[in-house]
């Protein structure tokens, strides 16, 4: 007998080699039907995994991230099986789960048109109804190669060739279809609800992301455990299309990307107002939280990037040049420059913690196919900060950063989930230091009453991190904030401070971004607000609409008063009907319109129209100003 400890602490005595799904059935048939995968001793596994020793066990349903991954990964195999049934000549590449759904890359002599996709989707539903078991088996590398060569799958052969000679390769078989795969998967295809899956798109993709290799077709799909969930998702996608920041950015005159600079956004006047207002807020918050601001050069020598490790590990994403016969690089991140600033003068323990912020312009080479509006660009402003501290200051500094995050995100009405990424296999530094750093992150978050999920082994090679995944008004998540502990860069750059004992010590460091990228965050909040920015952030806050030429002078007088109070105001003097002016101001998402006719000009009043609440009636200018100033001061959403 072995002891299995469940997530809630309950212990079960079971026979050795009992499978997870058997135990799951004994616990609850409802849980058994909902189960997608399991986590055994922290490792995700199939439900049919035999339990061979005392262990911890968590049953993963579709409500969990790893449960969704198993569900969607199985969907990708169903997709591949459907394509091979209908079009046996198609060659298969890879088919993983992704953040939302799944895809499969395929080499086909014909395009996957909407008609073809419809046929494939119908075949997928048939496969779901067949309830085919997914059976895992392994082959030695040589046999695995022969197996895929006989199936005439060249991409699979290439993948196997890249594996070690002594490797045993795993496969999953469902009916007549077998795929190279590490898993895990659902027990059978019947676990996927055929009426709750949908193929959503087909795009071109390079094999292994290499533009010099074959161009494949990537079919995307999504699936849920009920049709209602699928319908809600599809409605959300349609709403997301209306909120596309590229579309809204063009309509509101915020930014553009031109063929002369692919991946390099041009910010237009109104977009610059938005960007600068965001930056002003960033500076105001950071001053209150005890940060100083620096600016480091955009171009720095190769020697620096070699010292930081970027030249060896990140050079393919860097833009380089030669100055005076010496190699230089445009910075892809601000950290190494921040190290030099710290080293510029000696430091005492009394200086720590030292919180140093930088709005640094960085450049990273991205493949043209990956570029996407402001979300994926080649040039962006990273709102970095580096906090230098002693080891015993670490927990308080983490809490201080999280408090800052809470304040900033709440201003935009954004909630978040926290993910803790722990030590990877390929890491630098002492495991004892890693354990201390990870435990400190856990304790800091827990003491603040916050929950987190663990992303096992996904930390950077130099330290564990907390990622903050923001949820917008449509429920979509965006990874923006990060708290990254770094025990290695201070070592590489030989950073020091003089301790209370008069001896030199090595500080530990936090890399930290709140918004992540100013440009990307503008894209996020543009879609979050659908372009209807709150008053304090709106590029044009008030639009004055004179009804007659006689009211023009009074309109200009009001504009001047608003300008003195710091409002961004425009006056529409065009010879157009007032209804047309109002509709256009609404299309431009202006928070307030002041409609000025002869009566308002004579009485010294204003007729106020709110983007959100509609007609607010006639008010005195003082009354409107009081309302608007309060709204700006409170940064009301």
The verdict on 226 and 86 lying in the same domain is yes
Residue with tokens 């699979």: 156
The verdict on 284 and 423 lying in the same domain is yes
Pick the last residue of a domain from 494, 528, 562: 528
**Residue 16 to residue 46: CA distance in whole angstroms:** 17
Q: Which domain holds residue 123?
A: 66-241
Residue with tokens 């395009």: 111
DSSP characters over 461-495: TTB-EEEEEEE-TTS-EEEEEEEEEESSHHHHTT-
Contact present, 77 and 95 (Cβ < 8 Å): yes
Q: Which two tokens stand for residue 417?
A: 């989930």
Q: Would the pLDDT of 462 be above 80?
A: no
Q: Is-cis flag, bond preceding 284, omega within 30?
A: no
CATH code, domain carrying 500: 3.30.930.10
Pick the last residue of a domain from 306, 330, 354: 330
Q: How many domains does the chain have?
A: 5
**Residue 257 to residue 213: CA distance in whole angstroms:** 27
DSSP characters over 340-393: HHHHTS--BGGG-SEEEEEEEEEE----GGG-BTTTB-SEEEEEEEEEEE-GGG
The verdict on 283 and 403 lying in the same domain is yes
The verdict on 46 and 148 lying in the same domain is no
Q: Which residues contact 299 (CB under 8 A, 6 or more apart)?
A: 321, 323, 328, 329, 330, 331
Does residue 235 sit within a domain?
yes
CATH code, domain carrying 608: 3.40.50.800
The verdict on 307 and 413 lying in the same domain is no
Q: Would the pLDDT of 461 be above 80?
A: no
Does residue 536 sit within a domain?
no
What's the pLDDT at 91? 97
The verdict on 573 and 624 lying in the same domain is yes
Residue 210: pLDDT band (50, 70, 90) is confident
Give pTM, 2 decimals.
0.81
The verdict on 222 and 145 lying in the same domain is yes
Of 280, 281, 272, the C-alpha closest to 249 is 272
Does residue 557 sit within a domain?
yes
Any idea which residues carry the catalytic annotation?
A: 335, 364, 382, 384, 386, 465, 511
**Residue 541 to residue 208: CA distance in whole angstroms:** 48
Does residue 533 sit within a domain?
no
Q: Would the pLDDT of 427 be above 80?
A: no
Does residue 482 sit within a domain?
yes
Grouping H, G, I as helix, E, B as strand and the rest as coil, residue 294 is: coil
Q: Which helix (H) or strand (E) holds 585?
A: helix 578-587
Pick the last residue of a domain from 281, 306, 330: 330
Could you read off the pLDDT of 260-302 as tens digits, one per residue? 999 999 999 999 999 999 999 999 999 999 999 999 999 999 9
Q: Which residues contact 1 (CB under 8 A, 6 or more apart)?
A: 13, 14, 15, 16
Does residue 575 sit within a domain?
yes
The verdict on 130 and 33 lying in the same domain is no
Least confident range from 79-83, 276-280, 574-578: namely 574-578
Q: Is-cis flag, bond preceding 353, omega within 30?
A: yes
The verdict on 185 and 259 lying in the same domain is no
Least confident range from 227-236, 238-247, 426-435: namely 426-435
**Residue 442 to residue 348: CA distance in whole angstroms:** 28
Does residue 248 sit within a domain?
no
The verdict on 212 and 312 lying in the same domain is no
**Residue 295 to residue 298: CA distance in whole angstroms:** 9
Contact present, 135 and 174 (Cβ < 8 Å): yes
Of 123, 204, 138, the C-alpha closest to 172 is 138
Of 331, 323, 320, the C-alpha closest to 361 is 331
What's the pLDDT at 395? 94
Average pLDDT over every residue of 474-486: 88
The verdict on 227 and 342 lying in the same domain is no
Q: Which two tokens stand for residue 349?
A: 């323990």
CATH code, domain carrying 171: 3.30.980.10
* Structure-model confidence comparison of residues 632 and 314, the more confident one: 632
Average pLDDT over every residue of 136-164: 94
**Residue 353 to residue 393: CA distance in whole angstroms:** 7
What's the pLDDT at 475? 82
Q: Would the pLDDT of 428 be above 80?
A: no
Contact present, 14 and 23 (Cβ < 8 Å): yes
Residue with tokens 């504009």: 559
Length of the chain as a residue count:
637
Q: Would the pLDDT of 191 be above 90?
A: yes
Does residue 149 sit within a domain?
yes
Q: Which two tokens stand for residue 145?
A: 């190669």
The verdict on 33 and 79 lying in the same domain is no
């Amino acid at each position: 007998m072995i002891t299995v400890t469940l997530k809630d602490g309950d212990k079960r005595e079971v026979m050795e080699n009992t499978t997870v799904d058997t135990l799951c059935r004994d616990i609850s048939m409802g849980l058994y039907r909902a189960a997608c995968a399991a986590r055994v001793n922290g490792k995700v596994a199939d439900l049919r995994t035999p339990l061979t020793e005392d262990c911890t066990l968590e049953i993963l349903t579709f409500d969990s991230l790893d449960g969704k991954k198993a569900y969607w990964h199985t969907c990708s195999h169903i997709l591949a099986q459907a394509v091979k049934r209908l079009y046996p000549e198609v060659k298969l590449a890879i088919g993983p789960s992704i953040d939302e759904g799944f895809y499969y890359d395929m080499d086909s002599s014909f395009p996957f048109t909407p008609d073809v996709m419809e046929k494939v989707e119908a075949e997928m539903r048939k496969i779901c109804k067949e309830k085919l078991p997914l059976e895992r088996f392994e082959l030695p590398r040589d046999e695995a190669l022969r197996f895929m060569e006989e199936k005439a799958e060249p991409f699979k052969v290439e993948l196997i060739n890249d594996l070690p000679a002594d490797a045993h390769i795993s496969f999953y078989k469902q009916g007549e279809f077998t795929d190279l795969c590490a898993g895990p998967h659902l027990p059978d295809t019947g676990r996927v609800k055929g009426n709750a899956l949908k193929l959503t798109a087909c795009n071109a993709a390079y094999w292994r992301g290499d533009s010099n290799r074959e161009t494949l077709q990537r079919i995307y799909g999504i699936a849920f455990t009920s049709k209602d969930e699928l319908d809600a998702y599809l409605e959300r996608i349609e709403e997301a299309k209306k909120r596309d920041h590229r579309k809204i950015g063009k309509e509101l005159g915020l930014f553009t990307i031109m063929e002369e600079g692919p991946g390099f956004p041009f910010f237009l006047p109104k977009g610059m107002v938005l960007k600068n207002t965001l930056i002003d807020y960033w500076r105001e918050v950071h001053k209150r939280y005890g940060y100083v601001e620096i600016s480091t050069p955009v171009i720095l020598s190769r020697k620096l990037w070699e010292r930081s490790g970027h030249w060896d590990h990140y050079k393919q994403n860097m833009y380089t040049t030669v100055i005076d016969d010496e190699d230089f690089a445009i910075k892809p991140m601000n950290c190494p420059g921040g190290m030099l600033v710290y080293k510029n003068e000696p430091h005492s323990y009394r200086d720590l913690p030292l919180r140093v912020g930088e709005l640094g312009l960085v450049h990273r080479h991205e493949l043209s196919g990956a570029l996407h509006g402001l979300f994926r660009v080649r040039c962006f402003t990273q709102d970095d900060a580096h906090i230098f501290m002693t080891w015993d200051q670490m927990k308080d500094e983490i809490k201080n950063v999280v408090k800052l995050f809470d304040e900033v995100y709440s201003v935009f009405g954004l909630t978040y989930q926290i993910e803790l990424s722990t030590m990877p296999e390929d890491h630098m530094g002492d495991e004892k230091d890693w354990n201390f750093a990870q435990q400190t992150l856990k304790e800091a978050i827990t003491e603040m009453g916050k929950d987190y999920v663990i992303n096992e082994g996904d930390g950077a090679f130099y330290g564990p991190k907390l990622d903050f995944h923001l949820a917008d008004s449509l429920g979509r998540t965006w990874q923006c904030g990060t708290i990254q502990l770094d025990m290695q860069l201070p070592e590489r750059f030989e950073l020091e401070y003089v301790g209370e004992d008069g001896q030199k010590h090595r500080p530990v460091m936090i890399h930290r971004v709140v918004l992540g990228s100013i440009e990307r965050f503008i894209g996020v909040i543009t879609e979050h607000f659908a372009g209807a920015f709150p008053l304090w952030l709106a590029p044009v806050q008030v639009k004055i609409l004179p009804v007659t030429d006689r009211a023009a002078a009074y309109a200009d007088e009001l504009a001047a008063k608003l300008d003195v109070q710091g409002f961004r105001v425009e006056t529409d003097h065009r010879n157009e009907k007032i209804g047309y002016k109002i509709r256009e101001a609404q299309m431009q998402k202006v928070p307030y319109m002041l409609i000025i006719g002869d009566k308002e000009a004579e009485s010294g009043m204003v007729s106020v129209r709110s983007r959100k609440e509609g007609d607010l009636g006639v008010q005195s200018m003082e009354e409107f100003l009081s309302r608007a100033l309060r709204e700006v001061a409170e940064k009301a959403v």
